[in-house]
Structure 1
């Protein structure tokens, strides 16, 4: 970790540790993977205008979200199957988030349990809910999250069907796994990961085990998860889950202003603008492109958060200037925990914190609350006049 300078260094270390089948699962998108480029290039196209002669000797990036003040506006987004990349990764991510005083969203496909998250990081842990075919399962997970002391539930709505992830298909990724000899041989070139696989085998989806029957094997639980996650979703589910959940309720995957408005009308507390890391619909716009319209549609009526393509602290600054209250990252912290466990995840968060701090100084902002469209390059004279107000 001492030689790591940026997030891409962590990515390279993660790639070195993992066999191709596992690394491609992290990196891959869907179809032609245009969306992966779209997400990151949206930031490259943005231009942020500095304001000089501002005393930036003291800078504060603390941010209040749902009544709790965090040390930085960066949180850890849900990333499924983290335990495949490093055993126990989900709770390692939670520990790093707790120690950095930022939120962590446990994936609905995690290999750690809601109950363990509640014990380890009750003030920083959120839970991601997928709608199960058996609604009693979803409703029980909501109850378990409340019983564990978690305060925020994130209902992910952008997976109406499994997508066409061709990297995974070529690598033999399926249930059950059908690995080619080429895939197996390549895995032998990553001994640290292979030792983990021989010791622990198929990742165990702890949160789903109780629904798969007594003493269910990891493979049986995984099969049950694959079946349950192919569930239809509608606004009726939002209404029902809002009724059951008494804490902060967030919809993740909102990409249209009208959907954000409807979510607010149903009592949703926040939306996360996200296209699922470009893993669902290849030609969807980037979250950054739709963020301003969503923010304009709901204003301060609900909390607007952001996820998608953030690789630098300056990316986070841009998203905050364009309307996000808070920014979440998925792959960067997954690289970190894969490469170095808790220390690696902490390193990723430290990198973002440092880069955000430097960027604030460079543009003349002393507090996160000061960030807004006035720092973005104006489109025309009217836009410039509007930002001066």
Structure 2
């Protein structure tokens, strides 16, 4: 995309296209939004110590998890309501991930369907599951994921209740939408988005249509999703869903080593260390702060992945050095697809790939498997001796 150099450029283009009510949904956190800064600042505080006199003329960032090798260690995390920001965005993101050979996790609040994802990106599509009040719906979604041939199911566990997202409250976000005249007038300043909204209306949650009754309207399906997704989640659900799904079973939202240990004991294949993009508990630590302890607890037993605050390729490298086997980001590719459709999402992934490659050269690493704590600034002499290679 012309003039786009980094993820920040894509964010500005996405903001220009969207009305405030939609942009704030992407960008916002909860309460005072301290957590948003916490996630990003954790990376600013980390320091990489480069190793020179290394031949870095050939570099390889391919990464293998769950028996599949991807071209880069950065995938696309689930981002709900992507179809509100650009119609068809979920499958556009899947196409971009497929072409870049990285995984894409379809949100449980997507407007694309599990079956369409499996047709478009069978080797790159994962599905995100939220617990439903009606457990028969959860079990059917799991069955559909398996029947479609998708090999990885991601059970998101860090939304026990809706959070206090004050930007959304002020904008009248909710079911039903209660838009002020100011909000409606501001939306008119974004004609491309407004035309799409007037033409198509409320995004249609395709995965949920069958549960809302015959010929259910988009609004009726959206009401069902809002109702069903406020459901209890316990370790019993983990055991049950693990027993049903025979593929790779991942828990997203783990933030404590003891929870990671328990997940492993129940046969979970992988965890994603994440605080839901700082959208649930405002004073939670950054996932980067807890990643080393979680990796120490279970890193040799299961696949530890990371999500939260990634805005640069170097951010991904820092998380990989701290123990993550793979990294996911959500907002950056959402900015991209909002701003430029499939090409915008591809641009975001290309930016990350280029930045990872340059950073590896600068620090003296030629393979992702080379990365580890020995590249991080040591805390004291004992730490230096432990990490010296």
TM-score normalised by the chain length of structure 1: 1.00
- Partners in 2 of 1:167 and 1:264 — Cα distance? 37
SS state at 1:21 partner: helix
Match of 1:53 in 2: 53
Q: In the TM superposition, what are the counterparts of 1:178-327 in structure 2 within 5 Å?
A: 178-327=178-327
Q: How do 1:110-149 residues align onto structure 2 when only pairs under 5 Å count?
A: 110-149=110-149
Aligned counterparts of 1:98 and 1:232: Cα–Cα separation in 2 = 34
Provide the residue aligned with 2:89 in structure 1: 89
Matching residue of 2:354: 354
Partner-residue secondary structure (3-state), 1:252: strand
Alignment partners' CA distance in 2, 1:157 and 1:280: 11
Q: Which residue of 2 aligns with 1:158?
A: 158
Q: Secondary structure at the match of 1:5?
A: coil
Q: Any idea what the Cα deviations from partners look like across 1:96-130, whole Å, max 9, x if unmatched?
A: 00000000000000000000000000100000000
Deviation at 1:300, TM superposition (A): 1.4
CA positional deviation for 1:388: 1.6
Q: What residue is the counterpart of 2:100 in the other structure?
A: 100
Deviation at 1:91, TM superposition (A): 0.1
Q: Which runs of 4+ in 1 moved over 6 A?
A: none
In the TM superposition, what whole-angstrom CA distance separates every residue of 1:135-177 from its partner, at most 9, and x where no partner exists?
Answer: 0000000000011110000000000000000000000001000
Whole-Å Cα distance in 1 between the matches of residues 196 and 65 of structure 2?
37
State the Cα distance separating 1:2 from its structure 2 match. 1.9
**Other-structure match for 1:38:** 38
Deviation at 1:299, TM superposition (A): 2.5
Secondary structure in 2 aligned to 1:224? helix
Supply the distance in 1 between the matched residues of 2:182 and 2:2 (Cα, whole angstroms). Answer: 34
Which runs of 5 or more structure 1 residues have no equivalent in the other structure? none
2-side partners of 1:255 and 1:303: how far apart? 15
Secondary structure at the aligned position of 2:163 is classed as coil
Residues 198-240 of structure 1 deviation map (CA, whole Å, 9 limit, x = unaligned): 1110000000000000000000000000000010000000000
Normalising by the residue count of structure 2, what TM-score does the alignment of the two structures yield?
1.00
Q: Which secondary structure state, in structure 2, belongs to the residue aligned with residue 60 of structure 1?
A: coil
Distance 1:65 1:195 in 2: 42
Q: Counterparts of 2:165 and 2:67 in 1: how far apart (Å)?
A: 38
Cα distance between partner residues in 1 of 2:168 and 2:31: 11
Q: SS where residue 126 of structure 1 aligns?
A: strand
* Structure 2 equivalent of residue 7 of structure 1: 7
- Matched residue of 1:47: which SS? coil
Residue 373 of structure 2 corresponds to 373
Q: How many residues align?
A: 389
3-state SS of paired residue (2:30): coil
CA distance in 1: counterparts of 2:299 and 2:157, whole angstroms: 21
CA distance in 2, matches of 1:2, 1:382: 49
Aligned-partner Cα distance in 1 for 2:83–2:200: 10
Cα RMSD after superposing both structures: 0.4
SS at match of 1:154: strand
Deviation at 1:18, TM superposition (A): 0.1
Alpha-carbon distance in structure 1 between the residues aligned to 2:230 and 2:63? 36
Cα distance in 2 for residues equivalent to 1:105 and 1:200: 25
- 1:232-266 Cα deviation digits (max 9, x unpaired): 00000000000000000000000000000000000
* Partner SS, residue 39 of structure 1: helix
For residues 174 and 74 of structure 1, what CA distance do their matches in structure 2 show? 32
* Distance in 1, Cα, partners of 2:334 & 2:55: 36
Unaligned runs of 5+ in 2: none
